[in-house]
């Protein structure tokens, strides 16, 4: 069995406040504590080797922080802070970061140490359009992100939920979506 824990991006005022705290390097708020609790429950139920962790934008920072014990961490347009760069924070080998070339949120990611990010070519100068999850559709058909079925889900393949990165929090278990 494979479980996927999805951490959504910014969705409301409380998340905007979390974004502001994140900008200054603070990853200790309620959103991070709640995500850590969900992550631990999924890893306890399915085993760490069977849990993949994904996130978009703010959700990428959450996934990166709480998902390091899981099989893999996949992020889209993850914010990299000045603190990450100053402290030499390294992206782990089990983590794959994907970013859109002109996405303003992940603009510092190319300067972060560790594995290189997969870069999606931008088609517009519009920062809102370049930050959306549907930029994944621009990836070539043969590109696989992650391991196996999860990579297809991130590309919007046959087994994918309608929008796999932006929902609140899902555990995906043998094609059933559990809240």
Q: Which two tokens stand for residue 89?
A: 């924070």
The radius of gyration of the chain's CA atoms, rounded to the nearest angstrom, is: 15
Whether residue 158 has pLDDT greater than 50: no
pLDDT tens sequence across 105-133: 999 999 999 988 999 999 999 999 999 99
pLDDT tens sequence across 143-157: 778 765 444 455 454
pLDDT tens sequence across 84-99: 898 999 999 999 999 9
pTM comes to 0.79
142 CB-near residues (< 8 Å, 6+ apart) = none
Tell me the mean pLDDT in the region 36-56.
93
Contact 8, 169 (CB under 8 A): yes
Considering only CA atoms, which of 135, 60, 62 is closest in space to residue 100? 135
- Position 147 scores a pLDDT of 67
Tell me the mean pLDDT in the region 42-69.
92
User: 30-46 and 58-66 are packed helices; what angle lies between their axes, rounded to 10 degrees?
Assistant: 50
Q: Which two tokens stand for residue 61?
A: 């920072």
Whether residue 102 has pLDDT greater than 60: yes
Whether residue 177 has pLDDT greater than 50: no
- Position 105 scores a pLDDT of 92
**3-class state of residue 5 by DSSP:** strand
């Amino acid at each position: 069995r494979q479980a996927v824990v999805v951490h959504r991006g910014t969705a409301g005022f409380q998340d905007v406040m979390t974004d502001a705290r994140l900008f200054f390097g603070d990853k200790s708020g309620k959103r991070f504590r709640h995500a850590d609790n969900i992550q631990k429950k999924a890893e306890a139920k399915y085993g760490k080797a069977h849990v993949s962790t994904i996130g978009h934008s703010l959700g990428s920072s959450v996934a990166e922080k709480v998902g390091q014990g899981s099989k893999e961490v996949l992020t889209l347009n993850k914010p990299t802070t000045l603190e990450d760069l100053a402290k030499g924070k390294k992206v782990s080998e089990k983590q794959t970061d994907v970013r859109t070339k002109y996405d303003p949120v992940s603009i510092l990611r190319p300067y972060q140490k560790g594995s290189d990010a997969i870069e999606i070519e931008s088609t517009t100068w519009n920062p809102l359009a370049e930050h959306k999850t549907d930029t994944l559709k621009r990836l070539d058909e043969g590109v696989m992100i992650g391991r196996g079925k999860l990579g297809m889900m991130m590309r919007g393949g046959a087994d994918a939920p309608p929008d796999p990165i932006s929902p609140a929090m899902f555990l995906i278990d043998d094609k059933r979506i559990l809240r």
